[in-house]
Each structure stands twice: as C-alpha cells, then as structure tokens.
Structure 1
Amino acid sequence: MTETGGRRPGRAWIARLGPRGAVDLDRAASPRPIVEDAVARVGADPVRWVIELNSVVVRRIVGEVPDLGGSPAAVELLRRGNEATTLRALFTLVDGPAVAPPTDDAILEGIHEFVHRAVPLERVLHGVRIGHAATTEAFLRACAELVDPEAAVDEVTAISRELFSYVDDLSDTMIRAYLVEHEVWSTSAAAARADIVRSLLSDATATATDVGEASRALGYDLRRTHEAVVVWSDVPNGSSTLQAVATEALRARGATTTLVVPVASGRLWAWGTVPSDGTVTSDGTRRTGSWETIAEALARQRTQAAFGTPGGGVEGFRRSHREARRGERVERLRREAGRVPRHATAYADVAAIALLATDLDAAGDFVRRELGGLAARSASMEALRTTLYHYIGAERSLADVARRLHVARGTVTYRVKRAQEVLGHGLDDRRFALHTALALTEELGDAVLLPRDVNER
C-alpha cells in the first residue's frame, strides 16, 4: 500500500493513534503554532496521543533522575522539550528524517538550563535514555495493536531501527549543545558566583580567610546577619523578574544588601543582610512590609517565597537557607494536597510540619495509626478531622470553631462527638499525638493519608 503526499508506505496506522483518555490539544506543552503545524502534518488524534504519552514519560524521567526536575517551571521546560522530541520522532516515522523539522529550540533551551544548574552530562543522557525507552515502548505497543499481524513483525523491526537512529542523532546534537554551553557558562561571572555559593553551603570548614575572599567575590558580606529566601514560580517568569521579586521581598524584610543566585528555571535562592535584632539596620533602614503586604506583592507576580529565620555569619547563611528550602518543601506538599497556596511562607510558621514531614513514610504511618478510621479519604471524614483539629487548637471553644469554619455551634458539637466515636476514644487520650496527626492531615492531605506507593501511582 502506498500513501499519498510522498509519505512512507505502510504507515497508515500512525493516523489511527489516539489517547486512551480525554486529552485536549490545549494541554500541549508546545506553543500553539507548533501544535497546529503538528496537527496539519499528522492529524489531531496522533498529536493528542503524543501529549498524553509525554506526561507519562516526563513523570518517569523526573522520578528516576530527579536532577532533571528542580522546580515546577523546570519540569514544564522538560515537558516542552520532551514533547518536541516525541513530535519529531512521529514526523520522522511518517515522513522520514530528511523531512522532519530541525531540532526544536525547546530542546536546546533545556540543555542550557541543565548546564546552568550544574546537572552533569551523564545525568542528562540518562534522562534521554529513559525517555527513549518509554517512548519506543509506546510506539511499538501501538504498532502491534494497529498493524495487521502478518506485517507487524517487519513494522516493529523498522520502527525500532528508525527510533534508535533518531535518538542516536538527537543525543549527538544534545552533547554538542551541552559542551558548547558549558564552555561559555563556565567562564561567566554568574557561574563563578553560583559555584562559590554552593561551596559555602556544602563546606562547613570554611576559614575566616575563605569567608573574606568569598565576601569580596560575591560583593556580599558573609559576616553579617542573613535572612534567606527561596523564590519560585510555576508559570514562565523571566529570571530578571524573579530576581526583582526576591530583592523587593528581602528589602521589605529590612535587608540592606542582597545576594541572588538563580538555580533552576522559575526558581532561585537569595539572601539579604538584615539587622541582628530584627528591627533597624545600621543605616537606619526599617522593615517596610508585613507578611501580608509581602504576600500580596508576590501574588501579583504569580510567585511564591519561603523565608528562613535570620542567622549570623556563614553558619547563619547556611541555616537560614536550609530553613527556607524546608519551608518550600512544605508548600509544595501542600499544593499537591490541593491546599490554597501561601505566597509567603515563614519557616517559623511551618517548622513543626517541616520537621514532622522530613520522613513522609513515617509521618503517614503515624497519621494512619493515630487516626484509624478518621484517616479515611472522604468528604465526611475530612470535615470531622478539620473540625476536631480546630476544636483542640481552640481549647474546645465551640464558638471559636463555629466562627472559624462558618458553621453552627450544633454542627461543631455533632462533628466532635462523631469524630470521637470513629476514633474509639476520648480527646484526652493521647491528646498531643492526636492533634499532631490532625495538623499533618490539615497541611499535607494525601501525602500522609495514603501509603506512599499508592500516592505515587
């Protein structure tokens, strides 16, 4: 059988590719013009198939090579690049490599990102191999399902050979792009600053001479008191925008000088020198923003930030940064649980949850053991948990809980009684453990209500 339009014979089955679920073209990671061109080339259903497959493959890549993630924006960049490679693979199978479009900018953009984040080339290539294996598996499975049995063996062999050749060429292109970008980046001032900061964070034996030299190189006095912040955005935001947001937030916290280090697409680390007593700096600068005003400013830029507590010297520089990253982790877990995002997170406000969630498996075991039937994932049990959590926190004030939850006092009374029935014991039995377990469920939801293996399916 020969197809029209100069296409390869025997590839009519590709036009019958389609997603297993409902997939809208708007879910594509690629820009609309690229999606429209792809639809014109192969049809809408095969493109939807690629979009669905890409989500699965990217999850597998990030799961096996976490360095290739790093932030929601970095994952989105990876999603865009992998979708571009999968579409090119599809075009190659349909029209041949000579007709497929050149390497997409999204692929090379991802390479630049990995170089700037100091992701080793071998990790990048490991991710390529994982993606190739998963994508090839999907193509071969579809081929076996859609091609006549008598032709399937030859077609599977041809598909395997062509995809291997395609990925081999793609890997060569990515290696060359990585090495070129690495050579340029390694001689830049930004790379030097990032290397110094990473060294400071990992080396607890830095001498006074080392600290002095690092301070001069960074243009930032490491002997002062520091407040660290991690700033991130899930939407495409230029690095300059995030840097401005971080600087503004730290200035509002009273910082007189700042140090900003981009670490991933849509994510950066920053520090500010702040007064040791938290009030007035040596030059008379005062804190100019409450947490509410800082959160409002972050929300306007569609960004989030997690702040550490101030600390002196290099050790305070490190500790405040560790706290900011723990606060960021709590906020990411809250997001996965469907909680309303907090645009500004102070570590002091989430320290207990951050420490309790250090080992999520153990935290989940603790929650399910303490709550028993109350840990069930249903709307009714969630209402009981929330009410009981606030009831214990409000020292059993029905009026306070009713006002906070916008329900009648009688509703609070009923829920508390029902919760105790489900628990099988009164509130004075293991009160601290009970309230702790409830706090974890309020903040982290399914991350502690479901066993980890179920949560990651």
Structure 2
Amino acid sequence: MTRTVRGREWLLDLAPDRDGVALEHAAGAPANTADAVERVGAPAVCWAVAIGEDMAAHIVREIPQFGGGNSPFEMLRKGTESSVVRALLLFAQPDAGLATITDESLEGIREFVRRGISLDGVLRGIRLGHAEMAHAFLRACEALVAPDRLADEMKAISDELFAFVDGFADAMTREYLAEYDRWTTSAAATRAETVRTILAGDDVDVAAASRVLGYDLRRRHVGLAMWTRSVSADAGLHLAATELLSARGATSTLVVPIGSGQLWAWGAIPASGPGPAPAPTGPDVRVAFGTPGAGVDGFRRTHREAQRAERLRRLSGDHRDGATEYDDVVVAALLASDVVAAGEFVRRELGDLATRGEQAADLRTTLLHYLDAERSLVTVAGELHVARGTVAYRVKRAEQILGRPAGERRLALHVALLLADELGDAVLGPA
C-alpha cells in the first residue's frame, strides 16, 4: 500500500457504515478502483463507494431532472463516486500529483447537455454533492481522530474540501460549455430541438420541420418511449426501437435519444396496418406505446400517451417485462396522475386488502378478475387456472376483509383493485 501522509492515517480506518457495500459494487472502472485500493485500502474505497451512491441519490431527490431510471442514475453515481475517491486520495497523498477532477466525473457532462440539464442545474448538483461529501468526511474525522488533534484536523479537511470543490466546479463548467458548443452546432441537436418545439405545441412550418427531421410529419404516427434498466443494454436501443416500429408497419422512423438509456421514437404507419407486434421481453429493455394519430397533433398525442404509459410502468417498480400499450392502461394512467392521492384512495377503499404480500395479492387479483368477468366463477377459474372452489373461497375471504359484498360500491372497488394491480407497492400499505 502506498504511504499515506503523516497525521492522516485515520483515513485508512474508513469503512462503510452499512452492510452490502463491496468493491464489486463500485460504479467506476475496475482499474481506477484497483489503483485506489492500492493507495488507501479496500475498506476506505468501499466507504467512498457508499458515500458516492448516497450523493447521487441525494442529488436526484433534490433535482429530479438528473433521474429518469437506472441508467442515468448509474452515470451520475459514477461521477459522484469518482469525486469522493479522488478527494480521499488527495487528502491521503497530497503530493501524489493527482488532478482534482477525473475523466469519470467529466463523462456525465455529455449526457447532461443532451438531456437539456442547464449549467445552473449542474452547478447546483455539485453544491448538493459537496455538502453531502463534506458531511461524510467531517463525521468520519470526528469519529476517528484523537481529541487533541480533532479541531485542527476538521478545519484542515474543511478548507481542503472547499478548495477541492472550487477546482471541481471550474473544470466541470469549462467542459460543459465546450460540450454545449459542440452539441448546439450538431445536426442531432437541431433535430432534437425541432422535436421539442413540436411537442411544446409551438406553431411550426410542417414542411420545413419534416425536412430537418427527415421524417414526414403529415403521416399517421405511432410513438414509443424506450428505456433500459442497465447501462449494458444501452447500445442496442436505437436498433430495437426501429425494429419494433417496423414490425408495426412503419415505413419510416424517427428516433431521438434523450439521455443515457432512454429514447423517444415515432413510426409513420399506414391507415390500416398490422396490429401491435410483440415487444422484447428481455430483463433490461422496457417500451411503452401510444395509440396511432395523424399529422402534427397525432405526433404529439401518441408521444404524450407513451410518456403516460412509461410513467405508470416506472411507478409500478418497472418490474414487468415487455411492452406497455397505452390502450391497456389508460384508465390507471389517468387515475394515477396524482400517485399520493391514488394511494390514499386504494388504502381507504380496500382496507386490509391493500397490504403487500402474496396472499393479499392473490385475493385482489381474483376479486379484480371476478368483477371484470361480471362475477362469473367459471370464467375466473379458467383465466387464473385454479379450481372454481378456490375462486369462490378467495372472493368470500376478500369480502370478509373488506367488510362488505363485492357488489357494494362496485365502481370504487373496481378502480381501487385496478390501481393496486397496476401500481403495486406504490399505492399499497405495509405487509
């Protein structure tokens, strides 16, 4: 292990304050992680990994624009983790010749520019991250440094942290401005800005916009939103969107990446084309479709519907494979526009039936199918592949928990069951 500056040996005693944080959990490149371990040891690096993850989560909570799924979060976490590791190494080895900012921290700038996150937003994120990192270092210092040295060490760490974040912010600002200049002069930026102008409802010259996009806005469109749950699935996203739209009869497509692991796309389809084609059912790709619409208004509407379906899928925990059709979830999507109110309604309407766990889920599913099937036990038994007696028992048990027959307040009960089925834990109470 490389020698640590005298008086800073306490940094080698750093360790995560929660279980489950290992070097394999690091977001950074394995070579960089290995170098840091060689300098300060594995426990201290694991501590930095945990703090980096906490910083990323804190930034997303305060500035939701940085979120949007697993892939954007992992990109952000790579940067926050890298900054904590670099600060740790600079404190431990100030004469090692290490730069204040790392390539991994700068890597996120390209995505921030393309997603339309402003420089003010980036700098606010840096300030939030710095506050979280400073708190972590000072808390560790207080716990590990001898009382007779504590005041001097805390002042030194605080001063060095402020110097660190000043240099970090300067480097990020320079890189952001350079990337912004590159992006705004590119054809991709022009197309993305044209799409955003159309979606905002601004008046557009349809012929001119179609030429810029290479896509005829006067056609009939079907829109989709596609995203991934892992960075590794990002590379094939554009091709996957194009193939899905082609399978639905699209003769031309428009694909607009909106950040790491996310894109919007449209396909121009005939007035009477083939029905929906199967979507990928892999563990990482998710897709939500709007319904077809004609012209510029249809272009906007099918996109809005795809976004609503995407939001519903994310609220439910993003655990279902394959595609989400807006037509299939339109009622739940509209009712879940206020998810807090939806959860209050579900828990009030279902009572103890609105709890997490397999048993309650089986009762809710059976009761929902029972109401959908106009209370036909035979139909529900066939749909759920269980005995008719099992259906009858579950319905009776659900009514006992509700404290009323299923036919009483039927509409409210049906809606509450539908929301619970679509949104799951987002609207349910504890087990």
Cross-structure match for 1:344: 323
Query: Among residues 254, 258, 265, which one is paired with 1:259 in the alignment?
Result: 254
Matching residue within 227, 231, 240 for 1:232 = 227
The question of 1:396 aligning with 2:393 is answered no
Q: Which residue, 422, 427, 434 being the options, matches 2:406?
A: 427
CA shift for structure 1 position 428: 0.9
Q: CA RMSD in A?
A: 2.1
State the 4+ residue runs in structure 1 displaced beyond 4 angstroms. Answer: 237-240
Q: How does 1:16-415 map to 2 (within 5 A)?
A: 16-22=13-19, 23-96=21-94, 98-100=96-98, 103-204=101-202, 206=203, 210-237=205-232, 241-276=236-271, 278-279=272-273, 287=274, 290-292=276-278, 295=279, 298-299=280-281, 302-335=284-317, 339=319, 341-415=320-394
| Cα drift, residue 98 of structure 1 | 4.5
Identity in percent: 50
Question: Unmatched 5+ residue regions in structure 1?
Answer: 280-286
**SS state of the match for residue 291, structure 1?**
coil
Aligned counterparts of 1:47 and 1:427: Cα–Cα separation in 2: 57
1:71–1:264 CA contact under 8 A, matched in 2: no
Is 1:331–1:342's contact at 8 Å kept on the other side of the alignment?
no
Deviates further, 189-198 or 101-110: 101-110
Provide the rounded CA distance (Å) in 1 between the counterparts of 2:100 and 2:252. Answer: 45
- Report how far residue 181 of structure 1 moved: 0.9
Q: How far apart, in 2, do the equivalents of 1:187 and 1:114 lie?
A: 16
Letter matched to residue 163 of structure 1: L
**Alpha-carbon distance between aligned partners in 2 of 1:420 and 1:301, rounded to the nearest angstrom:** 36
Task: Provide the rounded CA distance (Å) in 2 between the counterparts of 1:386 and 1:101.
Answer: 57
1:39 aligned partner, one-letter code = V
Q: 1:394 to 1:114 in 2, by over 3 A?
A: same
CA deviation profile, 1:297-337 (whole Å, cap 9, x unmatched): x335942211111111111110100011111111112225x
Q: Once the 2 structures are TM-superposed, how far is the Cα of residue 290 of structure 1 from its aligned partner?
A: 4.7
In the TM superposition, residue 102 of structure 1 has moved relative to its aligned partner by: 6.2
Shift of 1:203: 2.5
Q: Does 1:14 align with 2:11?
A: yes
Provide the rounded CA distance (Å) in 2 between the counterparts of 1:375 and 1:420: 13
Q: Aligned in 2, Cα 1:381/1:240: closer, same or farther, shift over 3 Å?
A: closer
Tell me the distance in 2 between the aligned counterparts of 1:342 and 1:334. Answer: 12
Alpha carbons of structure 1 residues 448 and 8: separation in structure 2 relative to 1, 3 Å:
same
* Offset at residue 271 of structure 1 (A): 0.8
1:417 aligns with 2:399: no
1:415 offset after TM fit, Å?
Answer: 2.2
Please give the per-residue CA displacement for 1:139-162, whole angstroms capped at 9, x wherever unaligned. 111111111222211111111111
Q: Secondary structure at the match of 1:217?
A: helix
CA distance in 2, matches of 1:240, 1:191: 19
Aligned pairs, number: 429
Amino acid at match of 2:201: D
Give the Cα separation in 2 of the matches to 1:380 and 1:257: 47
CA displacement, residues 394-423 of structure 1 (integer Å, 9 cap, x when unaligned) = 333334434444444433322221211111
Query: Are the equivalent residues in 2 in contact too, given 1:19–1:52 (CA < 8 A)?
Result: yes
Instruction: String of CA shifts for 1:403-455, please: whole Å, max 9, x gaps.
Output: 444444433322221211111111111111111111111121121124xxx9x
Q: Which amino acid aligns with 1:326?
A: R
Post-superposition shift, 1:220?
Answer: 1.1
Contact kept? 1:371, 1:423, Cα under 8 Å: yes
Compute the TM-score of the two structures, normalised by the length of structure 1.
0.89
Moved more, 6-15 or 118-127: 6-15
